[in-house]
Chains A and B, each alone.
Chain A
Amino acid sequence: MFRRRRTLAMLGAVALIPILIAIAVRVSSSRATGRGPAFLDQISQNGLFVSFVAMVVAIPLFLPLTVGVVAGDTIAGEAGGGTLRYLLVAPAGRVRLLVVKYLGSAVFCVAASLTVIVFGTLIGVILFPTGPVTLLSGDTVSVGESLLRSLLVASYVTISLLGLSMIGLFISTLTDVPVGSMAATVVMAVASQVLDQLPQLDWLHPFLFSHYWLSFADLLRQPISWDSYGSNAILQGAYMVIFGALAYGRFSAKDILS
């Protein structure tokens, strides 16, 4: 997967998010300091905040988009390219192929989350002063502690994307047209967030896989609030089990006609 130019291009695009944000803030803040949204304003005072802001921007659409492309392509891409039958005749084993493909998507989730954090931190250090970080709760932590929390955010976001990855894997077993399963997976991510916005459906909100996506901010409080981390992990785990079972049920006996 990482030998594919497309994968690298997507990670490159993800890396651009913190870079563009940092440059935009840098350019505007040199003209009028102290204005703009509170969160963005933090950046100009401390570069270590760039990665957090970039993550807030990336998680509703950019990250689901790239995850949708990778996870939606898993099986459908092999089918569409005519390689699925050769993998199965090799024999790769249907269950093993699903597992390997899912692990590949999970590795991409790790890579994408880390890309935002690593590039955000780098560009922040380059363009802005760095020092102890003031958290959302008002407490101040050292540079080292703040880097540790960045990694914690990366792990949180990775976990957040695991449920969507499994949904993508399942959709990918339904079709031989990879573009279709990619688009459908992205639509799922968007739909989940839209439903999460409708107050009439508030009973449903805790069950939507995107419900805790933005709650990684809880990791930026002192003391760290682990509630959302745990709830998110359980929710994503439930989605993985359900859609993993659906993917297995669909793929293990499917006629491979591609």
Chain B
Amino acid sequence: MTRDAGGMAIETAGLTKRFGSQVAVNSVDLSVPSGSVFGFLGPNGSGKTTTIRMLLGLVTATSGRATVLGHDMPGNALAVLPEVGALVEGPGFYPFLSGAANLHRLDGADRLAPSATRSARVETALERVGLGGVGNKKVKAYSLGMKQRLGLANALLSPRRLIVLDEPTNGLDPQGTREVRSLVRSLTEEGTTVFVSSHLLAEIEQICTHAAIMSVGNLVAQGTIEDLRSVGAPTVTVSTPDAAETASVFATLGLAAEITHTDDAAVVTAQLGTVDPDAIVPALIAANVRIRGFSVLRPSLEDLFVQLTGEGFDIVQ
């Protein structure tokens, strides 16, 4: 197998898709490092699924290019896709076949998947997503969550270098959502790159090493989770009845204080900048400031997400 270009499992440059006059994906430059768990975030209609379809060779880009596992797509789809497991916009199975028979069929569609180990691999994949007991039931008897799990099992049929999951927690209960998270963790331990899209940041924030944020077809932020968190500067907050004294101590430390009064105390905040947060409390105590509360907060990724993509239920067109 060829090496990934620059250790990137996925790389796109100027990737664009237009549907008629509507631009669904607008010049997206994605860089997904090998071995990462990459969160692909954005509200509904922001272009996540369209991007994923282009990565998988289902949709031809209007312009730009995409490289997956070191090969250009869609030209090398037949070489690349056997090493890619995918769940795209919900599961799709024959209702009149059992879950296991559906997996057999899809595995059989991949010429490179060895038929000798097929039954064992189907069995293992079903076990892994918690469908071990119902693999022989017809899919039409499955609940939405069970179908979603079967879709995950399909992505796990063969050893993969990349797994692409489009909204994998759709239709799952909280327990199922937790299971997906632990499944993704176990995949990364095996060295698989996981590219997971979601419109719910909270569901994947804990498991991602990297993330990108889409808004109305544009990629508005991308990087490691740490990088993204540090886009907003951390702030220090002191709750105290001695607001004025606190502000002057802050001034000597080089912090610009902002005071908001509450009933019996004041809250003094400041951008932390390069000041060592551990030096603040000793300085306040030395100045005999009474401290009722102290915290150093980084803005949450959620704040960034909302700030970049807007809030509310309206789908931005």
Interface of A toward B, CB cutoff 8 Å: 3-5, 81-93, 96-97, 253, 255-257
Contact B58 A89 (CB under 8 A): yes
Contact B92 A91 (CB under 8 A): no
CB nearest neighbor in A for B147:
A82
Asked whether A88 and B58 contact (CB < 8 A) given A4-B96, A82-B91, the answer is yes
- Which residues of chain B have C-beta atoms less than 8 A from A89's C-beta? 56-58, 81, 84, 86, 88
Contact A91 B53 (CB under 8 A): no
- Which residues of chain B have C-beta atoms less than 8 A from A257's C-beta? 53, 58-59
Instruction: Beyond the given A89-B56, A257-B58, please list 20 additional residue pairs across the A-B interface where CB-CB is below 8 A.
Output: A3-B97, A81-B92, A81-B95, A82-B90, A84-B92, A85-B56, A85-B88, A85-B92, A86-B86, A86-B106, A87-B109, A89-B57, A90-B109, A90-B110, A91-B57, A91-B77, A91-B78, A91-B82, A91-B109, A96-B111
Within the complex, which residue of A90, A96, A253 is in contact with B106, where a contact is CB–CB below 8 Å? A90
How close is B81's CB to chain A, nearest CB, in angstroms? Answer: 4
Assembled-state Cα–Cα distance A5/B81 (Å): 32
Assembled-state Cα–Cα distance A96/B112 (Å): 14
Within 8 A of A (CB), among B89-128: 89-97, 101, 106-107, 109-111
CB nearest neighbor in B for A254:
B60
Within 8 A of A (CB), among B39-61: 53, 56-60
Contact B96 A3 (CB under 8 A): yes
Among A89, A92, A256, A257, find the residue whose CB has the most chain B CB atoms closer than 10 A: A89
Contact B81 A255 (CB under 8 A): no
Assembled-state Cα–Cα distance A106/B86 (Å): 32
Interface of B toward A, CB cutoff 8 Å: 53, 56-60, 77-78, 81-82, 84, 86, 88-97, 101, 106-107, 109-111, 154
Assembled-state Cα–Cα distance A92/B109 (Å): 5
- Which residues of chain A have C-beta atoms less than 8 A from B111's C-beta? 93, 96
Within the complex, which residue of B57, B82, B89, B106 is in contact with A87, where a contact is CB–CB below 8 Å? B106
Contact B78 A93 (CB under 8 A): yes
How close is A98's CB to chain B, nearest CB, in angstroms? Answer: 13
Contact A83 B96 (CB under 8 A): no
Assembled-state Cα–Cα distance A84/B90 (Å): 13
* 19 A-B residue pairs with CB within 8 Å: A3-B96, A4-B96, A5-B96, A83-B92, A85-B88, A85-B89, A86-B86, A86-B106, A88-B58, A89-B58, A90-B107, A90-B110, A91-B77, A91-B78, A91-B110, A93-B78, A255-B53, A255-B60, A256-B59
Assembled-state Cα–Cα distance A89/B111 (Å): 12
